[in-house]
Amino acid sequence: MGVVDVASLGVMFVKGPVIARALWRVGSNFGKFIEETSIAKNIVEKGRTVIVEARAKAVKPTGTVRDSVKATQPEISGAGIPKSFELSTDGAKVWVHGNATDHFAEAAKGFAARGLSPEAVKLQMQQQLRSMQAAVAEATKGGVPLNQRLTVGGWQLEFRQGAGDLLPALIHARMVG
């Protein structure tokens, strides 16, 4: 053996354990890396599943007047419409107060008393809601007429808006024709 070979053996003898420990750390941490990568992959997959499920549960347009209604209170029993709600028209958005929907509750009870099925009652209510929406759209074409009772499209309507209200409120809505 030459001088270089003895020097190389000496370095290997001295540095060998250090290199072995370094390789051992890399190897043992590699397993941990693989494990953490697998956990991250599972988290991403769960996230994707949540997104897919949320999209499936998202409210889809129905093609009915209900697409223009955003409930702010639970539905009136038997009527299929909320006690109060935001109503959008082509030109305006108003909040429909519970006082305005009282007449819907009365009408629903009347239809049920005449023997209409629950589905037929809800269909009648949807037709009345659509009719009211058309009247609100007509009444608000030039802006929302506040603090006056008016008759439009067979509906008696009254709108009010307080200083802190985000939307004008439809406080009275009664079918008169």
Average confidence score pLDDT of the chain:
85
- pLDDT at residue number 22: 74
Tell me whether strands 149-152 and 69-71 are parallel, antiparallel or unpaired: unpaired
Q: How far apart are CA 35 and CA 106, in angstroms?
A: 64
Q: Which residue has the tokens 């802190």?
A: 164
CA angle 86, 88, 92 (to 5 degrees): 110
CB 122 within 8 A of CB 147: no
Q: How far apart are CA 76 and CA 174, in angstroms?
A: 16
Q: Where do the domains of the chain lie?
A: 1-58, 65-175
CA angle 98, 99, 101 (to 5 degrees): 65
- pLDDT at residue number 95: 96
Q: What is the pLDDT of residues 117-148, one digit of tens each?
A: 999 999 999 999 999 999 999 999 989 999 99
CA angle 35, 36, 37 (to 5 degrees): 90
Q: What is the pTM of this model?
A: 0.64
How sure is the predictor about 7, in pLDDT bands with cuts at 50, 70 and 90? low
In sign, the C-alpha dihedral spanning 142, 162, 160, 101 is positive
